[in-house]
Amino acid sequence: MTAPVLEVTDLRKHFTVRKGLMRRRVGQVFAVDGVSFTIAPGETLGLVGESGCGKSTVARTVMRLIEPSAGSIKLGGTDVTRLSRREMRPFRRQMQMIFQDPFSSLNPRMTAGQIVAEPLLVHGVATGKAAEERAEALFAQVGLRTGQMRNYPHQFSGGQRQRISIARALALGPKLIIGDEPVSALDVSIQAQVINLLADLQKAHGLSYLFIAHDLAVVEHISHRVAVMYLGRIVEIADKTTLFQRPLHPYTEALLAAVPVPDPKLKRRRNLLDGDVPSPLNPPPGCAFHTRCPIAEARCRSETPLLHQAAGDHHVACHLR
């Protein structure tokens, strides 16, 4: 079997909360609390869930933009969890990130060409004419004219700015690209263009994606497998066909029931959830979802369910499924 490009095991990220003049510790925010998954070469894993469930924290922790509290991150079989900044530098070339807001993630003082070529200069891959030629090739790959390389970010549309971000991510020839809601800030018509571009680039370069989104329709279109997060944990993971047709976790069922149906004649039973998402500063005992779950039992309120195999590659964290 081919080794996974990314292997995350029991990843945790807890933020300390301090208050008062002496900055006394008063608690912890359990942003990510035991997340495990793998991504195979050429595979897209979609990561979905409500706002605040920890999706972006997972992305930034995997990238080592923020340090994990516990767990392990293996990139191409190498554990990069505790590497120093200098030791981590060669691995930066293997994984890149596309951020949600393309305008805030691009330097307004640099031209588009300089932005795309910057990773080549930083890592000593190419300089001068070679870097410029590489940037021109990347512009062509993402559907931008090379004549636009001298323009600044504010001179591009939102979709074009995201294409610049994608070109920058491709510059070093990474194996893995992490997209932190890369199309949520774009118009719907532009979203489709960017999603199709990402799919084409994946086929051309054999890329692996960790694709984070809250739009289930987008995730269904681009992903091979889907992981569902709730309050810092993965509650269900399966291939997209199985997950969308036969969801097991009550939370996944509620998410899918909330997706708008384009056919007005087709009626779907609504599965509305009561209450709000609990605070990650004080998560409930047992199953974190039991406060909103319509089928919760006494066991759910005291015992935390583990992610177990339900059938084939379908895993779910629920005592009753």
Please give the full DSSP string across 282-298, using - where no structure is assigned: SPPSS-TTTTT-TT--G
pLDDT of residue 264: 61
- How far is it, in rounded angstroms, from Cα 117 to Cα 139? 11
Q: Which residue has the higher pLDDT, 258 or 80?
A: 80
pLDDT of residue 80: 95
pLDDT of residue 280: 87
Q: What's 136-195 look like in SS3?
A: HHHHHHCCCCHHHHHCCHHHCCHHHHHHHHHHHHHCCCCCEEEEECCCCCCCHHHHHHHH
The predicted-structure confidence for 87-117, as pLDDT tens digits, reads as follows 999 999 999 999 988 888 999 999 999 999 9
Q: Which residue has the higher pLDDT, 185 or 121?
A: 121
Q: Where are the domains of the chain?
A: 6-83+224-316
Please check whether residue 164 is in contact with residue 112, taking contact to mean a CB–CB distance below 8 angstroms. yes
pLDDT of residue 27: 85
The predicted-structure confidence for 9-49, as pLDDT tens digits, reads as follows 999 999 998 888 888 888 889 999 999 999 999 999 999 99
pLDDT of residue 214: 85
Q: Residue 149: pLDDT band by 50, 70, 90 thresholds?
A: very high
Taking residues 71-90, what's their average pLDDT? 93
pTM to 2 decimal places: 0.91
pLDDT of residue 50: 87
pLDDT greater than 80 at residue 259: no
- Distances, alpha carbon 144 to alpha carbons 9, 61, 213, in Å: 39, 31, 25
Options 3.90.1300.10, 3.80.30.20, 3.60.15.10, 3.40.50.300; CATH of 6-83+224-316: 3.40.50.300
Q: What is the chain's mean pLDDT, rounded?
A: 91
pLDDT greater than 80 at residue 120: yes
Report helix, strand or coil for 132.
Answer: helix
pLDDT of residue 266: 58
Q: Which residue has the higher pLDDT, 68 or 269?
A: 68
pLDDT of residue 180: 93
Report helix, strand or coil for 220.
Answer: helix
pLDDT of residue 103: 85
Instruction: Identify the weakest region by mean pLDDT among 41-50, 261-270, 307-316.
Output: 261-270
pLDDT of residue 274: 74
Taking residues 51-80, what's their average pLDDT? 94
Please check whether residue 48 is in contact with residue 226, taking contact to mean a CB–CB distance below 8 angstroms. yes
Taking residues 210-235, what's their average pLDDT? 93
Q: Residue 131, class by beta-carbon neighbours within 10 Å (0-12 exposed, 13-18 middle, 19+ buried)? A: buried
pLDDT of residue 34: 93
pLDDT greater than 70 at residue 154: yes
